[in-house]
Amino acid sequence: MFIIIPSLVTSVSLTALEPQNTTMHFVTEFVLLGFPGQREMQNFFFSFILVVYLLTLLGNGIIVCVVKWDKQLHTPMYIFLGNFAFLEIWYISSTVPNMLVNILSETKTISFTGCFLQFYFFFSLGTTECFFLSVMAYDRYLAICRPLHYPSIMTGKLCVVLVSVCWVSGFLCYPVPIVFISQLPFCGPNIIDHFVCDPGPLFALACIPDPSTELICYTFNSLIIFGPFLFILGSYTLVLRAVLCVPSGAGRTKAFSTCGSHLMVVSLFYGTLMVTYVSPKSGNPTGMQKIITLVYSAVTPLLNPLIYSLRNKDMKDALKKVLGLRTNQN
């Protein structure tokens, strides 16, 4: 369906086409369809996503505060966890507030610039998450496979360097691909059947197909996803081999407990991510793509505090201590 909304396009006369008096229209805004349906269904989605968002902010915010206030948690493992929780707050905030506004909106529009800004922050924060998961896997590898050397290797200085590299490199990866995509001619339909500005629907809206740019972007996405994933897989292969050599059953249980939560987060995040972005033609229906995107963009940040930190004994003890101190102070 070809849709041109007068308020959403800018007319530009092309010199080469002047003899035919042809005018090309360039899109200045996109329409994010989100989750179409009856008003009752829209209200359900709004309530569900709002609750998920608020619980995510609460859970990850608690982790950040506990790590900050309890000095016993000022170790590399919990510093990484604190940064990871802080990252999750911004990751979900890059899409969900606009999603909530979109559900209530009648026009469901987002400006051209706003669309690509959302694209940039959503993918940059997602890339940063991939890097943090890799660093946390490396930290667990050192703690379990090289326990005697761990304090001398994972120093406070190295911890700060790794955290800084994750944040900086995550935001430096996507400017070039986004510039390439934003330069494509969007001169026809402006409707994106999604709730976020995603490369797949944007490529589909381009008036002139650009297979080379599409291939470059999907190859880049694959490298960003598979690079950290293979590093994590290698780290935990070595961890598993080391754990199986531990003579004590209690020691093996403790090691598996320490790494189990991390592996759950990695599996949930990377599983949904690979289905969406590794293959240009994944064959998934649009509705399924929306659900998968909702899982890794909103549901995963909600579950991370529960399966990765709040079930951790040290974290729970620190939380009780901090809340006790705050209560006594009040």
| Residue range 136-161, pLDDT digits in tens | 999 989 988 898 999 999 999 999 99
pLDDT of the residue at 258: 65
Q: What is the spatial distance between Cα 118 and Cα 189, in angstroms, rounded to a whole number?
A: 20
pLDDT, tens digit only, all 330 positions of the chain: 334 343 444 444 333 334 443 444 577 889 998 887 788 888 898 999 999 999 999 999 989 998 998 888 899 999 999 999 999 999 999 999 999 999 888 888 999 999 999 999 999 999 999 999 999 999 989 988 898 999 999 999 999 999 999 999 999 999 989 999 998 888 878 899 888 998 888 998 988 888 888 888 888 888 998 999 999 999 988 988 887 777 766 666 766 666 777 788 888 888 888 777 665 455 556 777 888 888 888 988 998 888 766 667 777 788 777 776 655 555
pLDDT of the residue at 271: 82
Contact partners, residue 3, CB within 8 Å, separation at least 6: 31, 189, 190, 191
Contact partners, residue 192, CB within 8 Å, separation at least 6: 30, 31, 32, 33, 115, 198, 201, 202, 205
pLDDT of the residue at 21: 39
Q: What is the spatial distance between Cα 163 and Cα 142, in angstroms, rounded to a whole number?
A: 16
Domain 29-314 CATH class label? mainly alpha
pLDDT of the residue at 7: 40
Give the pair of three-digit tokens for residue 64: 């950040």
Give the pair of three-digit tokens for residue 122: 């959503």
Q: What is the separation of C-alpha 258 from the centre of its chain, rounded to a whole number of angstroms? A: 23
pLDDT of the residue at 270: 86
**pTM > 0.75:** yes
Contact partners, residue 17, CB within 8 Å, separation at least 6: 23, 24
pLDDT of the residue at 75: 92
The residue among 227, 205, 233, 242 whose CA lies nearest residue 112 is: 205
pLDDT of the residue at 289: 80
pLDDT of the residue at 152: 94
Give the pair of three-digit tokens for residue 225: 């996803």
